[in-house]
Amino acid sequence: MFYEFAIIGTTASGKSDLAIKVARELNGVILSLDSLCLYKEINIASAKPSSNELALVKHFGIDIASPNDEFCVGDFIAEYKQALAYAKNLDIPLIITGGSGFYLKAMLSGLAPKTKPIKIDISDDEIWNLAVKIDSEFCSKFSKNDKFRLHKWYQIYTQTSAIPSQWLRDNTSQPVIKNLPIFELVWDKIELIERIKIRTKNMLQNGLIDEAEYLFKHYNNSLKPLNSIGLKECKEYLNGKINLNELENLIIIHTTQLAKRQRTFNKGFDSIKLDGKNLDLSVILTQIKSLNSIN
């Protein structure tokens, strides 16, 4: 029987492991939401499912691009449509999982038109002061320290001469997905940090530095995926700027900061909370089946 739902959570929360267990029980297929797993050759740094795990359950959204390929949310939506068609054709569940909440939000809220990148000649404080004057809606939702959204706001403003929040409402496409049940894996902060520490040690033991060295030899070091957490710290290590202990500590710190941002972002979803420490697969399966029988 076809239905779809999502399993989200912060990095190192165990969402991929849970999704695989659920998919095996339901004979389902998985669409990875992870913005790094989609790249070939980035295996350890992305915490990509192992080849054995990938053999157990069919995955979409994994190993579909080269590190030097341009990849945007529109490309991800195209991958979602392929996964959707596959699941519908076989009449099996589609499980959407991963940490890139931006992709999920874009599918649930609609996709805004692209604007061209521009050179920004004013400071972030000046952009924020302008936003305060003309777009209180934006300022109520985002922080002045959110550099990405602040620059995106200014990019829209300079190219459209409209109030960006209003312009986005008027020009955003219809949602790709509606009424999607979302389950969120949650952990106590201290316990999650311990999980991050263990995963970081395992990544280093499994060859993270060798993977980074290979990637830096074969691709431009300035590429966005090669400056993700795990790889950017390895670059500093390989350049002799930090030692091995500093490398491990930096990855842990940066991953913990990412988890905090993801936790905040995920508050925007109407989700059913799952206690990561006390998971009961049979209970989760019952919840999934009951929700989808209603939908």
pLDDT for 100 equals: 85
Q: What CA–CA distance (Å, rounded) separates 251 from 263?
A: 18
CB contact at 8 A, 211 and 226: no
Identify the three-state secondary structure at position 198.
helix
Q: Is 14 annotated as a binding residue?
A: yes
Asked if residue 6 has pLDDT above 80, the reply is yes
Q: Tens digits of per-residue pLDDT, 213-253?
A: 999 999 999 999 999 999 999 999 999 999 999 999 999 99
Torsion sign, CA atoms 199, 44, 18, 260: positive
Residue closest to 253 by CA, chosen among 284, 230, 285: 230
Q: Is 282 annotated as a binding residue?
A: no
The CATH H-level superfamily of 4-109+175-294 is: P-loop containing nucleotide triphosphate hydrolases (3.40.50.300)
pLDDT for 112 equals: 80
Residue 111 has a CB neighbour count (10 Å cut-off) of: 18
Rounded to an integer, the average pLDDT of 179-184 is 95
Asked if residue 295 has pLDDT above 60, the reply is no
| High-pLDDT (> 90) share of the chain, % | 84
Alpha carbon distances (Å) from 270 to 54, 158, 184? 29, 33, 9
Alpha carbon distances (Å) from 253 to 86, 146, 230, 248, 250? 39, 19, 11, 9, 5
Q: What CA–CA distance (Å, rounded) separates 168 from 113?
A: 8
Residues of the chain with CATH 3.40.50.300: 4-109+175-294
Q: Is 259 annotated as a binding residue?
A: no
Q: Is 9 annotated as a binding residue?
A: yes
Q: Is 13 annotated as a binding residue?
A: yes
| Residue 24 tokens, joined | 């095996």
Strand order in the sheet with 29-32: 59-60, 29-32, 94-97, 4-9, 182-186, 272-275
Residue 122 has a CB neighbour count (10 Å cut-off) of: 10
Asked if residue 4 has pLDDT above 80, the reply is yes
Q: Tens digits of per-residue pLDDT, 33-77?
A: 999 999 999 999 999 999 999 999 999 999 999 999 989 888 999
Q: What CA–CA distance (Å, rounded) separates 129 from 154?
A: 11
Angle at 225 between CA 256 and CA 84, to 5 degrees: 90
CA atoms within 13 A on the CB side of 228: 19
Q: What CA–CA distance (Å, rounded) separates 45 from 210?
A: 11
pLDDT for 22 equals: 97
pLDDT for 293 equals: 65
pTM for the complete prediction? 0.84
Q: What CA–CA distance (Å, rounded) separates 179 from 72?
A: 24
